[in-house]
Amino acid sequence: MSIIIVGVGNADFAAMEFLDGDSRTLRSHTGEEAARDIVQFVPFREFRNAAKETLAKAVLAELPQQVVQYFKHKNLPPTNSEPA
């Protein structure tokens, strides 16, 4: 599972930035480390005047790495398939 959060408005999104986990490893209330980073947070206000594609790129930026981390965590190697 990957969670993508887009913050809309001028609220304080510090809690969402914390969940993003880009700068540190997240821990549970018992101190257990998160197995992988599954959250991508993007504040919409930073893209208000940008092209739609710029927002989409930022929102989806971490998704490929999250998929790779998941497969590694589950010890699932990629399969070699020939194009159809």
3-state secondary structure of 4: strand
Helix (H, G, I), strand (E, B) or coil at 42: strand
DSSP state of 69: H
Task: Give the separation between CA 42 and CA 67, rounded to whole angstroms.
Answer: 19
Question: pLDDT tens digits, residue range 17-64?
Answer: 888 777 777 888 898 888 777 888 899 999 999 998 999 999 898 888
pTM: 0.70
* pLDDT value at residue 84: 62
Report pLDDT for 81.
67
Write down the domain spans for the chain.
Answer: 3-74
Task: Report the C-alpha gap between 5 and 17 in whole angstroms.
Answer: 10
The tokens for 44 are 């919409």
